[in-house]
A and B are shown apart, each in its own frame.
Chain A
């Protein structure tokens, strides 16, 4: 694990995964954020405190979180990287990420970020995409909340950070990416309906990268066009991502969405047209009496 020909898991980050990160896989760089300090966002919450915000992510009564055992959690400032050390290993990944979805409600403006998490044994290393939420909460007792949207959940394999050129490299099939979303025009919608697949070749039969997002479908074509910097779509396809390897493409340039690519055919789960814009009501005719 770690980079090829290297015994260290953390070489990608200069041996210091807390303060350095390597989003491109080419060279590590200093995190652009400082460790979280008390200030506008309030004190660093103690996530082991079962009273925080009225919810405890490690509450054994919450079934999805039962196996989570946090040894140490460090949260950095807005836009930064969160790291967490766990006693539990691979099987805890999903529970950890899922657990934080409980805090979505506390967030204000979501900010897409990359989460890196390290396991206490040093034997496992993973990376997830998520949404970092911060800001004041409604009850004032939980000033910083970290949330991951389940639909945006991506877990990378332990070896994947060694892949140069793209952050994370191939996403492991066990990455809990249940579905992917793809915005399309009427032609691709028709093809998807007819074949049951998102085509992975162009019209000349040449293999291509198929761009999708792990994020849930947005509500309007305008939102999709803006988030993914594409022409306005007419349909949204939800695809079955199980067993398919993806390359994480990061944030869309100029947009807010996250994109991933695969060269595989993605089975179609659903093809849904965006709702047509509401037709303006025609004002009632006014009858004018004639003489």
Chain B
């Protein structure tokens, strides 16, 4: 029988090996039912980034309220699994396209579009990097 997993207070990532700043990393929070929740962070010059749960849950609540049928309450259905992935050029382009549709309607991290464009400018230089996630 599954139990509800406590949502982590803080989630951090580390990109290795040492990387140029601005690499975009997608955090995916897996749910027991319905869709996962996603969030994008940008690594600093040390390859690190972190995000607090209050910010994550605020974004997830907003997403859930905007798209009622697609999500359940992350506090109740979080599976405990978080995965991280360095965004490819194609995924960055998709994120930018989505930003154009969703901006002004839901909240984004500060300077989100600028950071996405900067990450896109890194191109294929990030191909061999790896990312680990800590919660």
Contact = CB atoms under 8 A, between A and B. Distances in A.
A191 B105 contact: yes
Contacts of A202: 35, 37-38, 63, 67, 98
B105 A187 contact: yes
Contacts, number: 84
Interface string A165-200: 000000000000000001111011011001100010
Interface in A241-275: 253, 259
A210 B35 CA distance: 9
A205 interface: yes
B26 interface: yes
B1 interface: no
Nearest to A225: B68
Contacts of A191: 101-102, 105
B95 A211 contact: no
Given A202-B38, A204-B38, A204-B40, A188 B66 contact: yes
A203 B69 CA distance: 15
Contact of A203 (B34, B36, B106): B106
A184 B68 CA distance: 6
Contact of A188 (B67, B97, B98): B67
How many chain B residues sit at the interface, stated as a range, is 20 to 34
A206 interface: yes
Nearest to B24: A204
B99 to A, nearest CB: 8
Given A202-B38, A204-B40, A209 B70 contact: yes
A259 B105 contact: no
Contacts of A208: 35-36, 70
B97 A209 contact: no
Contacts of A199: 67, 98, 101
A230 B69 contact: yes
A205 B96 contact: yes
Given A202-B98, A204-B98, A212 B91 contact: no
A201 interface: yes
Given A201-B94, A202-B35, A203-B108, A187 B66 contact: yes
Nearest to A184: B68
* Most A CB within 10 A of own CB, among B37, B40, B70, B98: B70
Interface in A118-155: none
B18 interface: no
A203 B91 contact: no
B67 A184 contact: yes
B65 interface: yes
A281 B67 CA distance: 34
Given A206-B26, A211-B34, 4 more contacts: A184-B69, A205-B97, A231-B64, A231-B65
Interface of A: 182-185, 187-188, 190-191, 194-195, 199, 201-206, 208-212, 228, 230-231, 233, 253, 259
